[in-house]
Amino acid sequence: MRGRDHEDMLRLRVANQEWLTPWEATMPPNTGQSLPTVSQFCRQSDQQVGRGLLAPFSIWVDGELAGEVNAYAVSWQSLCSGMLGYWLRAEDAGRGIMPASIALATDYLLGESGLHRLEVNIMPHNDASLRVMEKLGWRCEGRRADYMYIQGKWQDHLSFATTVEELPAGGWTEFLSRP
């Protein structure tokens, strides 16, 4: 993502704020930190991409920007691992777009980019995201108590992961297209 992409993504997120708010991380009190401004966020993101610590993927539906998949907290050396976060505009939910988008990103990240492991963490009542992991068949590694601060409190998350060794023949994209 570059320049105008950040602005377009921000507009899309604002337009879908009500849909996304229940799942959005917030800053816990008493940390002395605040969320970055939009310009700070864009600058930090670009720097992380340049250092190989973030890999953003835009999702386009019918020629329109519709969401994104992000590999973040990427760690190289002996770990070669990253976390995935994702979101999609409300009007495209339930159409199979997100599983396909994650499959494409995963195939690239565990293939060409050289990562070994990817992880996704989902709030237990986020049925749509749980369904995405079910469709993809990622391994559930269990519950993480008080994992992330969301909407004013620490929230448990279910952790899902996949590795290069678990990559289906032909990749996750081909796996989804099988009958």
How many residues are present in the chain? 179
Q: Report the candidate in 41, 46, 36 with the shortest Cα–Cα distance to residue 2.
A: 46
SS3 of residue 144 by DSSP: strand
pLDDT of amino acid 103: 96
Helix (H) or strand (E) holding 109: helix 97-110
- In order along its 179 residues, the chain shows pLDDT tens digits of 556 777 888 888 889 989 998 898 888 988 888 877 767 877 888 899 889 999 999 999 999 999 999 999 999 999 999 999 999 999 999 999 999 999 999 999 999 999 999 999 999 999 999 999 999 999 999 999 999 999 999 999 999 999 999 999 999 889 888 87
Domains and CATH numbers, the chain: 4-177 (3.40.630.30)
Cα gap 32→177, rounded to integer Å:
47
